[in-house]
Structure 1
Amino acid sequence: MTSHRYELRIAGHLAPGTREAFEGLTVADAPPETIVRGTLVDDAHLHGLLALIQDLGLEVVAVQRVED
């Protein structure tokens, strides 16, 4: 099993409580978006993160696998 680093761009600014939902990941402001970065262990982890974003009512602008 190989983990990969991902960068997800989410529309808008996240409130502090919403940012806390992304435990273990880096959350950074990049107006007009918010960037969530981190290492995901497998596809299930990525799909779980996307489900969390959907459950929070957020809009994904882009998902990209990035090199270390």
Structure 2
Amino acid sequence: MPSGRYEFRVEGRLSDEVAGEFGELEVSESVPETVMHGEVVDEAHLHGILARFRSLGLHVVSMREVPR
């Protein structure tokens, strides 16, 4: 998988502390979800981001690659 820009939508609003766990992503609110987007360098990086969502108990509503 080549690098790409991805958008992740997670359920609810994130605290500043939880949002800080995703320093490589830009975070914005779009009630009732939080939208996070940024550059994903490879498949391992993508799986790492998804693992962080899971470990923090966040529900990913959608994930998609977006144009740069």
Residue identity in the other structure for 1:6: Y
Q: Which amino acid aligns with 1:10?
A: V
Q: TM-score, normalised by structure 1?
A: 0.95
TM-score in terms of structure 2 length: 0.95
CA RMSD of aligned residues (A): 1.0
**Aligned residue pairs: how many?**
68
Distance of 1:62 and 1:2 partners within structure 2 = 20
Deviation of the 1:24 alpha carbon? 1.8
Which residue number in structure 1 is paired with residue 13 of structure 2? 13
**Consecutive unaligned residues in structure 2, runs of 5 or more:** none
Distance in 1, matches of 2:53 and 2:18, equals 10
2:14 is paired with a residue of what secondary structure? coil
Aligned to 1:39: 39
Secondary structure of 2:29's partner? strand
Q: Percent identity?
A: 44
Aligned structure 1 segments of 4 or more residues deviating by more than 2 angstroms: none
